[in-house]
Chain A
Amino acid sequence: MTVSAERVTGVGPPPDPVTRPRPRRRPRSARRSVRTALEVLFFVGPALALFLVFVVWPIIRAAQFSLYRWKGFGPLTDFVGLDNYSAVLHNEVFTDAFAHNLVIVVGSVLVQMPLGLAIALLLNRRIRGQGLLRTVVFVPYVLAEVIASVVWLQLLQPEYGVVDSLLSSVGIPGPEQGWLGTPDYALWTVLVVLTWKYLGLAVLLFLAGLQGIPADVVEAAQIDGASWWQIQRRITIPLLGPTLRVWAFLSMIGSLQLFDMVWILTGGGPANSTTSMATFLVTEGTKRHNYGIAAAASVILFVVALAFALLYQLLVLRRDTHDLSRLARPGSAR
């Protein structure tokens, strides 16, 4: 889940601006269409080959592996049907991991949405040093998840870490095993670090959304005597709807793939209290060589992500056609 581009990958494609076939110029001869086909092959061929070999083929193989018991050597012969799926779904470590992913999905949105919104509204005011502030807020997002995690691992060292020492100086003693070493707190601590790392992206996207809000609506409201807070609540935030929904979608898809941070901060522990679906499948695959189990887990991960994406599209993003028309007629935005 190294995010930079991948997190963004979840977005649907921008619909083509110019797809409508233009009627003029029909290929006059067969020779010409052969030439076109060759040119297309020349241009698309290399990318398509790379894509088929390193994306499509491994995914097909994952589906295939998931039907076999396979330890990684010899041919695939031990066909077990859906046994691996049943084993994974009955494995408490996996179902817990799935639950952890859900906690992170929901927690990220619930924490980052209001915080990100607050910071974006703050940065959208006319204050000095605004450009610098924007850069600063975005810094954690640019760092590798690994680097951020390694730094936080040191900050969170039990007792001697700076977090514990700051907390105890205000009278809150940290847990004995440290925040990451106590099963009850570990997942929440991961969520805190995750929030630190990704809040900048939310702020950035919300700011972009804020800048798309037409000035005249806001001015009209100001002339009518609306307070800053009324304007935010009645105009800005509702108009930000589409941005918030797309961001939440990206955040969810990213949370479902959570790996790097957990791997470094806790390795899934203590007592499997922070595992994610991705750490489960990597552990099964690379440490235990249960390739069938790992493959079944990855298919389940994919199906979960797909189900999320489709449901979200159906239930939430669908409203955006409506929102867009509202944007076009800002007056109707209450």
Chain B
Amino acid sequence: MSQLEVPSVGVRRGPARRPRPSAAQGGGSPLVYAAALLVVALTLGPVLYAVLGGFRTNAQIAQSPAGLPDPWVFDNYRRVLTTSTFWRYALNSTVVAVITTLLVVVLGLMAAYPLARYRFPGREALYVVFLVGLLFPATVAIIPLFILVTRDLQMGNTWWGVALPQAAFALPMTVVILRPFLMAIPDELEEAALMDGASRIGFFFRVVVPLSGPGTVTVGVLAFVASWNAYLLPLLLLQGEMKTLPLGVADYSSQYSSDTAGVFAFTTIAMIPALVFFLAMQRRIVGGLQGAVKG
């Protein structure tokens, strides 16, 4: 059951998804609903508390920690949204994530293509090189990476300095997810294209790229979210106004730890992009993760 799961993640679309949960049984007794409600409360509670806390004053929070905004205060959010540092951090986060995603998708797709569809000596060995990369988390290489980027390449405190290593560490996973996708493209298509006079490079750009949409989106979404949430590498590489949102949030939280309402407002706004992105791409993220695990 395992090997074909990964390509099916993206190829499957819309209503053609697999039939409803097989093992689903038992309806909803009041007890079941109560349990579900408890799960929701514990899961969403802290998030909602932060969102609402942003609408309160510090005095309100101190007086009744578990209370609701009364009256609603918009000042905290206004303050965050009118500071230039917030927008600067958001810009940095966006640019770094976009560069990372583009690198991962373009280079990953290109690398996966010959690894999937060419026959040449050493193909499996080359694939194994990427596979081995799965074993190395960025944490292990973080100190030399820091030295490489800041000293040898003089790219410390730049967008590219963060995006390049992030993309490099995301490549193994990308190649592993995309290769079976590209293998699943029928040989007949390739033969037809070659007969019509296309080169294999032409086949790549005209047939493979358009056909690999779903897989590419999955890989891209995973790369984007990972970059958007990344902390360790930016922490070592970015200072001052090059910081990304997670760094900004952490800074704000440690500098103004007594400004609880301000911290809540800042974190709430900082989490919105990831949440919106997630809701929009939910099926891709979920499918990607499930596919990766079932592989």
Interface set of A (CB-CB < 8 Å, partner B)? 1-6, 8-19, 21-22, 25, 33, 36-37, 39-40, 42-44, 46-48, 50-51, 53-59, 61-62, 65, 72, 119, 122-129, 133, 135-140, 142-148, 150-155, 157, 160-162, 164-166, 169, 196, 199-201, 204-205, 208, 210-215, 218, 222, 228, 231, 235-236, 243, 246-247, 250, 253, 257, 259-260, 263-264, 278, 281-282, 285-286, 291, 294-295, 298-299, 301-302, 305-306, 309, 324, 327
Contact = CB atoms under 8 A, between A and B. Distances in A.
A282 B234 CA distance: 13
B231 A146 contact: yes
A161 B65 contact: yes
Contact of A4 (B175, B229, B247): B229
A127 B107 contact: no
B215 interface: no
Nearest to B165: A54
Contacts of B247: 146
Given A16-B179, A140-B43, A125 B229 contact: no
Majority SS at the chain B contact face: helix
12 contacts: A9-B172, A13-B134, A47-B111, A124-B24, A125-B26, A139-B44, A150-B249, A165-B66, A199-B43, A286-B236, A294-B143, A302-B136
A17 B145 contact: no
Contacts of A37: 120
B126 A309 contact: no
Interface of B: 1-6, 18-19, 21-28, 32-33, 35-36, 39-40, 42-44, 46-47, 49-50, 53, 61-62, 65-66, 103, 107-108, 110-111, 113-115, 118-120, 124, 126, 129-131, 133-148, 164-165, 167-173, 175-176, 179-180, 183-184, 200-201, 204, 222-223, 225-226, 228-232, 235-236, 245-247, 249-250, 253, 257, 260, 263-264, 267, 270-271, 274-275, 278-279, 282, 285-286, 289-290, 292-295
Nearest to B294: A208
A204 B286 CA distance: 8
Nearest to A261: B231
Contact of A2 (B115, B118, B140, B229): B229
Given A61-B147, A144-B246, A154 B223 contact: no
Nearest to B119: A21
Contacts of A6: 137-138, 169, 226
Given A40-B114, A59-B141, A125-B32, A147 B25 contact: no
A152 B130 CA distance: 37
Contacts of A1: 137, 139, 232
Given A8-B289, A125-B24, A40 B120 contact: yes
B267 A147 contact: yes
Given A210-B23, A257-B137, A246 B293 contact: yes
Contacts of B135: 305-306, 309
Contacts, number: 371
B131 A40 contact: no
Given A17-B3, A50-B167, A147-B271, A127 B172 contact: no
A327 B253 CA distance: 50
B171 A208 contact: no
Given A54-B145, A213-B23, A257-B137, A142 B250 contact: no
B62 to A, nearest CB: 6
Which 7 A-B residue pairings sit nearest by Cβ, starting from the closest? A14-B295, A215-B22, A54-B168, A144-B229, A127-B28, A47-B111, A61-B144
B4 A17 contact: yes
B253 to A, nearest CB: 4
Given A145-B231, A165-B65, A139 B129 contact: no
B175 to A, nearest CB: 7
A305 B130 CA distance: 18
Given A138-B286, A154-B260, A146 B118 contact: no
Contacts of A137: 39-40, 43
A287 to B, nearest CB: 11
B109 to A, nearest CB: 9
B144 A196 contact: no
Nearest to B282: A135
Contacts of A15: 2-3
B2 A126 contact: no
Contacts of A152: 46
A159 to B, nearest CB: 9
Contacts of A264: 250, 253
Nearest to B132: A56
Given A6-B138, A16-B180, A43-B110, A55 B169 contact: yes
Contact of B26 (A129, A147, A228, A299): A228
